[in-house]
Amino acid sequence: MIAFWIQNASHAQLQELWWLLCSVIGALFLFLTFVQGGQTLLWQVAETETEKDLIINSLGRKWEMTFTTLVLFGGALFAAFPKFYATSFGGAYWVWILILFTFIIQAVSYEYRKKPRNILGARIYETFLLVNGVVGILLIGAAVGTFFTGSNFILSSYNLVTWTSSLRGLEAAFSLFNLSVGLFLVFNARALGAMYLLNNIDFSENGGLEERLRAATYKNFLYSLPFLGWFVVQVIPMDGYGIGENGEIIRVTFKYFLNLIQVPGLFFALVIGLVLVVTGAMLTAKTEAKCGIWSSGLGTVLLGLAIFGMAGFNNTAFYPSKVDLQSSLTIYTASSSMYTLQVMTWVALLIPVVLAYVVYVWWSMDRKKMSVAEVSGVGGSY
Amino acid sequence: MIENFDLTMVNWARAQFAMTAMYHWVFVPLTLGITWIIAFYHTIYVKTGSEEWKNLTKFWMKLFGINFAIGVATGIIMEFEFGTNWSNYSWMVGDIFGAPLAIEGIAAFFLEATFFAVMFFGWNRVSKGFHLFSTWMVAVGSNLSAVWILVANGWMQHPVGQAFNPDTARFEMQNFTDVVFNPVAVSKFTHTTSSAMLFAALFIISISSFYLLKGRHVKMAKRSIIVASVFGLLASGFVGFTGDEAAYENARHQPMKLAAFEGLYQGEKNAGLVAFGMVNSKKQVGDDQDAFHFEIRIPGLLTMLANRKFGTFVPGINDLVYGNAEQGIMGAAEKMEKGKVAITQLDAYKKFKKAGDEAAATAALSIFDENKDYLGYGFLTRPEEAAPPVALSFNAFHIMVVLGTVFPLVFLAYLYFSYKDTLLEQKWLLGTGTIMFFLGMVAQQAGWVVAEVGRQPWAIQDLLPVTVARSNLTAGTVQTTFFMFLVLFTILLVAEISIMLKQISLGPKES
C-alpha cells in the first residue's frame, strides 16, 4: 500500500508530503526547546548548587535530542528543498551564523561545566546555556517569522541569491511580527522547560524548587500569551503570496486566513494546539499535576504544524521575497527532483522506528526521577 | 552562469571550511574508534561481572564523553556551512548531496543521541543487558553517520548516479544505489573508519603507557594495552588494504590527485613510488624546475598501486594539464574549450526556451549535451588551474604513509613485550607510546589534506569548481566568521585538552 503510493505519487504530492515531514520535524524541535527554556530558568529557579545540578542533569539527558532534531531539520530541508536551503542560509547569513554559534556553545556546556580544569569556569558555561536559550530561540523564531513577512533576496535565472539588506538576515529581528514569534518561542520554551523539570525531578528533598518551577510555568505562560496573540491577530488579516494561474507569484489578500479556512486541518491544529498549551500550563500552575509537559508539548507541536502548514500549504509562497516577488519560493519551486523525493520517502519510513526507540528509551530512563543522590555522582552525572 | 567571482572570498570560505573540518577531525576519529573498544570492555564487564572491567569501561567512557561533546559542537557548523558559505553548491547539487545528510540524521544521529544518554547515565536506571545494548548502539550509530557523510564526500570526488538538468540548471539524482555504492565512497568509508579504530588504539596506548611509566593503574593499563594493540594491529592491516584500494580508485577517477600526491609531473610506464624525497615547493606546473630537490623511488611501485599491472602508464600532472595524444589523454585546455561551449549553449538554451523558440533551444541543448561532461572546466581561466597544490599534497600523503607504516610496528612491539611480561621494563617503548596519539592525529589530518587539497580546484570533480560553488558574500563577512570560529574552537579545544589531562591524571577508579 505504502510502496504503491510512493511509486505512484505525483511530484506535487511528494513535495507536499515533504513539507509536512519537515513541518513535523520543525514542530517536534519546538517542543524539544524545553531544553533551551530550562537552561534559561537555571538562573531564576535554582537557589542552591544542588538544585542547579538537578536541573542541569535533568536537561542534560535530553539536550542531544533537541540538537539532533535541529540538525535533522536542516538536513531534511537541504535534501527536500535545496533552493530554500541555498537561498536562506547563503542569504540570511548572519542570522543563521548566530543561531549556530549559540548551539555550538551549548554542545560543550553540559559536559564541561563541572569538570575540573575546564578553563572558563562553571558560570561561563551556564552563561553559554542562557545565551543558547534566549538568543538562539529568539532568532529561530525571527527566522520562522520571515515565512510570513518575507526576506530581502533576488534569485538570478541560475538561482544564485543576492541579498539586498546589508544586515544579511538580522533585519528579521527588527520586525515586530518576527520578534513576537521569537519571544513567544522563548517564553513558551521556558514554560515547557519548567513543566519538563517538574515531571522529571524527584522533589522529596527539594520542595521549594517544585514551587518555584510551578510559579515559573505560570509566569512564562502568561508572558508568552501576548506574543502569541500578536502573531494570531497580525497573521489573520495579513496579505500573503500565492501561486497564480500561470505559475507566477501573486499577492493574495487574507492569504493566511484563507489557508486556515481552506485547509481545515491547519485550523484545528491551531485551535487544539492553543487549548492544549493553555491546559498544560494551567494544570501545572493550579493543581499538583506534573503531566502538564505532555499537554503543552503536544500543543506546541500542533501550533508548530499550524504555523509551518499555513506558510507552505495551499499554494502559498513559504519564503516570500520582499524585493522581487517572482523570486519567492514555494514548495513546488524550491524542492528536489521527483526521484530524490521518492528515495527520501522510502528512507522516511524509518521515522516511526526512530520515534519508537526514542519513546522507549525516554520511558526507560525517566521511570526513575532525577534525585539528589544521582547528581551527587551515583550512576554518572554532569 | 557566474561571470565574476571574488577569489579572496572563495579562499576565505575554503579556509573556513578547512579549519572547521580539521577541528572537527581532531575529535571525530576518536569517537568513531573508541566506541568499539568501550563496547568491547563493557561486554567483558557484563560477561564477568568484574568491577575492574566496569571501572575500565567507565574511565574510557568519561574520556569519550569529553571528546564527543566538542565533536558535536564542531559538527553542526559543517552541515550548515554548505548553505552559508557554499550556497550555489547547495543549490546545484542539493538534489543529490542533501539526501545522505538527511539520511545521516534519521538513521544515525538519532541512534547515537538516544543511546548516548543510556550509555552514560543508565548504570542504575536500565537493565545490564539494555545498557550494554545501548553502548553498542552508540558505536553503530556513530559509525553509521560516517557512512552517510562519506557517501556524500565520495560523491563529490566521483559524481556518479546523476545528470545535469538544463531546465533547473542543477545536477539531479538518477540512481541512488550508484550514489551509495560509489566505489570511491566505499573505499573512503572503509579507509576512514579503520584509520579511526587505529587512532583510538593509539589513544589508549598513549594514556596507558603514561600510567605504566608513572607506575599507576598498572593492571588496568596492561589490560588496556593488550586489547588496544590487538585492535590496532587488526585495524592497521585494514588501513593498509583500504588505502591501497583508495589509491586505485584515485587512479581511475582522480588521476590528477594521484599525480599530485606523488609529485609526478611527467607520466611514465612502470612509474616509481617516492619512498623518500624533498619536493620542490617553488615549482609551478609548466615551468622547467625540478620537481624534487632529491628523491628515492621504488621502481614500478606507483604503477602497481595505480593500475595493479606492470608495464602500464601512470599519467603525470603535465599529461593531464597539457594532454598526451600518444596515451589518448585530453588536456585541461581542450576540456576548458568544451566546457565554455557547454556554458554558452546552456545560456542560449535558456534564452531560446524563454523566448519560445523550441527549435533553437533543442539545437543549443544538443551541443550542450555533447560538451556537458566538461562543464566545470569552462569556469577555469588557465589549464594549470586544474592541478592542485602539489607540495602540500605530496608531503601530506607521505607523512600519512610513513606514520601508517610505523604504527603496526609499535602495536607488535607492545604485544611482544606484553607476551614476555617485560613491558614495564621497556621505558623506551613506553616513552614512544605516549606520543603515539599525537602522531596518530598528524596522520589523520594529513589523510584529509590528501583527500581534500588533492581534489582542488573541484568542489565536484570535473563539474563544479570551488569558485562557482560559493555564496554571494563579501570576503570581509567570511573573514569575520572565520576568526569567530577560530577563536571559539581554539578556546574549546584548550578547555577540552585541559579537562582531558585532568581526568587522565585522576585516572580510573581502583577496585
Number of domains in chain B: 2
Of A251, A261, A254, A252, the C-alpha closest to A237 is A254
Distance from CA of A381 to the nearest CA of B (A): 7
Question: What is the pLDDT of chain A when averaged over all its residues?
Answer: 95
Any idea how long chain B is? 511
Same-domain check for residues B368 and B407: no
Average pLDDT over residues A103-113: 94
Q: A152-174: per-residue pLDDT in tens?
A: 999 998 888 999 999 999 999 99
Amino acid A224: pLDDT: 97
The shortest CB-CB distance from B121 to any of A76, A97, A379 is to A379
Report the C-alpha gap between B147 and B109 in whole angstroms. 12
Amino acid B4: pLDDT: 52
B472 at A interface, C-beta within 8 A: yes
Does B61 reside within a domain? Answer: yes
A100 at B interface, C-beta within 8 A: yes
CB contact under 8 A, A119 and B498: yes
Same-domain check for residues B27 and B79: yes
Same-domain check for residues B314 and B402: no
A380 at B interface, C-beta within 8 A: yes
CB contact under 8 A, B76 and A347: no
On chain A, the residues whose CB falls within 8 A of the CB of B472 are: 90-91, 160-163
Q: B165-217: per-residue pLDDT in tens?
A: 999 999 999 999 999 999 999 999 999 999 999 999 999 999 999 999 999 99
CB contact under 8 A, A104 and B90: no
Amino acid B351: pLDDT: 94
Same-domain check for residues B170 and B60: yes
> Which residue segment(s) compose the domain that B281 sits in?
255-387
On chain A, the residues whose CB falls within 8 A of the CB of B97 are: 78
Please say whether the beta carbons of A293 and A280 come within 8 A: yes
| Angle in degrees, 0-180, between the axes of helices B390-419 and B427-434, rounded to the nearest 10 | 140
Same-domain check for residues B417 and B288: no
Distance from CA of B396 to the nearest CA of A (A): 30
The shortest CB-CB distance from B77 to any of A80, A91, A104 is to A104
ipTM of the complex model: 0.92
Q: Which of B387, B418, B438 is the last residue of a domain?
A: B387
Does B248 reside within a domain? Answer: yes
Q: A283-310: per-residue pLDDT in tens?
A: 999 999 999 999 999 999 999 999 999 9
Q: B3-49: per-residue pLDDT in tens?
A: 556 778 999 999 999 999 999 999 899 999 999 999 999 999 999 99
Same-domain check for residues B169 and B246: yes
Amino acid A1: pLDDT: 83
Same-domain check for residues B123 and B158: yes
Same-domain check for residues B189 and B281: no
On chain B, the residues whose CB falls within 8 A of the CB of A380 are: 58, 120-121, 123
B2 at A interface, C-beta within 8 A: yes
Amino acid B7: pLDDT: 77
CB contact under 8 A, A104 and B87: no
Same-domain check for residues B249 and B283: no
Report the C-alpha gap between A331 and A308 in whole angstroms. 12
Q: Which residue of A has its CA nearest to B114?
A: A358
> What is the residue-level pLDDT of chain B in tens, covering all 511 positions?
555 567 789 999 999 999 999 999 998 999 999 999 999 999 999 999 999 999 999 999 999 999 988 888 888 888 889 999 999 999 999 999 999 999 999 989 999 999 999 999 999 899 999 999 999 999 999 999 999 999 999 999 999 999 999 999 999 999 999 999 999 999 999 999 999 999 999 999 999 999 999 999 999 999 999 999 999 999 999 999 999 999 999 999 999 999 999 999 999 999 999 999 999 999 999 899 999 999 999 999 999 999 999 999 999 999 999 999 999 999 999 999 999 999 999 999 999 999 999 999 999 999 999 999 999 999 999 999 999 999 999 999 999 999 999 999 999 999 999 999 999 999 999 999 999 999 999 999 999 999 999 999 999 999 999 999 999 999 999 999 999 999 999 999 999 999 999 999 998 887 6
CB contact under 8 A, B488 and A101: yes
Q: Which residue of A has its CA nearest to B486?
A: A101
Q: Which of B387, B422, B452 is the last residue of a domain?
A: B387
Please say whether the beta carbons of A356 and B99 come within 8 A: no
From residue A98, alpha-carbon distances to A89, A169, B74, B482, B483 in Å are 12, 10, 14, 13, 14
Q: Which residues between 245 and 274 in chain A have a beta carbon less than 8 angstroms from any beta carbon of chain B? A: none
A164 at B interface, C-beta within 8 A: no
Same-domain check for residues B54 and B176: yes
Window from A207-211, A329-333, B201-205 with minimum mean pLDDT: A207-211
Average pLDDT over residues A31-50: 95
What is the widest separation between alpha-carbon atoms in chain B? 85
- Residue A133: how many other CB atoms lie within 10 Å: 26
Fill in the amino acid letter for A160.
L
Q: Give the torsion through C-alpha atoms of B109, B111, B112, B114, to 10 deg.
A: 110
Pairing state between β A329-330 and B162-165: unpaired
Q: How many CA atoms lie within 13 A of A172 on its CB side?
A: 34
Amino acid B511: pLDDT: 65
Report the C-alpha gap between A116 and A118 in whole angstroms. 6
Report the C-alpha gap between A338 and B370 in whole angstroms. 25
Does B163 reside within a domain? Answer: yes
| Angle in degrees, 0-180, between the axes of helices A93-112 and A49-60, rounded to the nearest 10 | 120
From residue B32, alpha-carbon distances to B68, B112, B148 in Å are 10, 11, 14
Kindly tell me the sign of the dihedral angle through the C-alpha atoms of B99, B100, B102, B107: positive
On chain B, the residues whose CB falls within 8 A of the CB of A368 are: 124-125
Report the C-alpha gap between B270 and A138 in whole angstroms. 63
Does B510 reside within a domain? Answer: no
Report the C-alpha gap between A327 and B202 in whole angstroms. 53
CB contact under 8 A, B90 and A82: yes
The shortest CB-CB distance from B114 to any of A80, A83, A358 is to A358
Same-domain check for residues B103 and B42: yes
The shortest CB-CB distance from A365 to any of B101, B109, B122 is to B122
Same-domain check for residues B44 and B175: yes
Q: Which of B331, B355, B387 is the last residue of a domain?
A: B387
Q: How many CA atoms lie within 13 A of A22 on its CB side?
A: 30
Does B1 reside within a domain? Answer: no
Q: What is the DSSP string of B77-104?
A: HHHHHHHHT-HHHHHHHHHHHHHHHHHI
Q: Where are the beta strands (DSSP E) in B280-363?
A: 292-298, 313-314
CB contact under 8 A, B87 and A100: no
Average pLDDT over residues A204-219: 92
Does B511 reside within a domain? Answer: no
Amino acid B371: pLDDT: 96
Does B70 reside within a domain? Answer: yes
Could you report how far apart the first and last alpha carbons of chain B are, in Å?
68
- Grade residue A378 by pLDDT with cuts at 50, 70 and 90: low
On chain A, the residues whose CB falls within 8 A of the CB of B471 are: 90, 93, 161
